[in-house]
Amino acid sequence: MQFAKNILFVICALIFSCSIFAQKADEGWISLFDGKTLNDWKVGDNAETFSVRDGMIVVHGKTAHLFYDGPVENHNFKNFEFKAQVMTMPGANSGIYFHTKYQQGGWPAKGYEVQVNNSHTDWRRTGSLYSIVDVKEQYAKDSVWFTEKITVQGKHVVIQVNDKTVVDYTEPDNIERPQGMKERVISSGTFALQGHDPNSIVYFKDIMVKPLKD
C-alpha cells in the first residue's frame, strides 16, 4: 500500500513539474486570436474572405487582408517574436505581413510580407521575405499543419518554418527601395493575414506574439 502511495506521489510531482515547465516555456507569449471570433481584427474590402471555424481562421475568397487591431501593444509592434500554425490546401497562396497598417483595399503598401505558399504557381515558397529574400525550396507541405515564426529585433529579421531557419536578413542602413516598394522597410506596425485569390484556401490558428525589448 505504501509503495502505491509513493508511486502516486512521484506521478503527481512529475505532472506538477511538467505543468510549471510548460508555463515557463510559454512565458511572454500572448494570443492574438481567441479561436472563436474575429474580435480585435479588422478587414476592409471583401471581408467575407475571412471566417472562423473550429478554432481556426479560414481564408477563402477574393483578395483581402485581415489586420490585427487589438489592444496588445496597441497593435503597434516593433521588436517581437510572432508564430502561427498554418495549413495550406493545394494551390493556395497567402502571406503574413508585419510592420504594416490597416488599408481598405489592395495589397498592403507598408511593411514586409512573409510568404505562405507551398504549391501555388508563384515560385516564392513559404518563409520568403517577399521580393527581398525569396525561398525557392519547399519546407512545408499542403494539407499538413506547420509552424511559421517571424523574429524581428532592430533591423534583423529571422523567419523559421517548422523550427528551421529559412531567412536570416538584416536590412541595410539608409535602404532605398524601388518604386512601389518604398514602404517595405523596418519600422513598426501591426500584423495582417492575406487572402490572395478565390482559389486559395488557407487556415491559421494559435496566432501568438511575444513583444521584445528595444
Which is nearest to 73 in space by CA: 65, 61, 82? Answer: 82
Grid cell 522597410 in the structure block, residue: 185
The third-level CATH classification (topology) of the domain covering 31-211 is Jelly Rolls (2.60.120)
Grid cell 507598408 in the structure block, residue: 110
Which is nearest to 121 in space by CA: 200, 204, 203? Answer: 200
Whether 139 and 128 have beta carbons less than 8 Å apart is answered as: no
Using 50, 70 and 90 to split pLDDT, how confident is the model at 214?
Answer: confident
Whether 133 and 125 have beta carbons less than 8 Å apart is answered as: no
pLDDT digits (tens, 9 = 90+) for 146-199: 999 999 999 999 999 999 999 999 999 999 999 989 999 999 999 999 999 999
Supply the pLDDT for residue 27.
84
Supply the pLDDT for residue 2.
53
Using 50, 70 and 90 to split pLDDT, how confident is the model at 125?
Answer: very high
| Percentage of the chain exceeding pLDDT 70 | 88
pLDDT at 12 over 80: no
Report residue 114 CA to chain centroid gap: 8
pLDDT at 49 over 80: yes
What are 21's three cell numbers?
515547465
Supply the pLDDT for residue 148.
98
Which has more confidence, 140 or 214?
140
Number of helical (H) and strand (E) elements in the chain, helices listed first? 1, 13
What DSSP designation does 75 have? Answer: G
Whether 92 and 120 have beta carbons less than 8 Å apart is answered as: yes
Using 50, 70 and 90 to split pLDDT, how confident is the model at 3?
Answer: very low
Report residue 63 CA to chain centroid gap: 18
pTM equals 0.88
Whether 123 and 136 have beta carbons less than 8 Å apart is answered as: yes
d(CA 187, CA 159): 17
Instruction: For residue 42, give the H/E element and its range.
Output: strand 41-43
Sign for the pseudo-dihedral over CA of 181, 175, 158, 187: negative
The predicted model gives 10-39 an average pLDDT of: 66
The predicted model gives 122-133 an average pLDDT of: 98
d(CA 198, CA 118): 17
d(CA 137, CA 214): 32
Which is nearest to 90 in space by CA: 115, 64, 121? Answer: 121
Supply the pLDDT for residue 119.
98
Strand ranges across the sheet with 41-43? 41-43, 64-68, 190-195, 94-100, 112-116
pLDDT digits (tens, 9 = 90+) for 50-105: 999 999 999 999 999 999 999 999 999 999 999 999 999 999 999 999 999 999 99
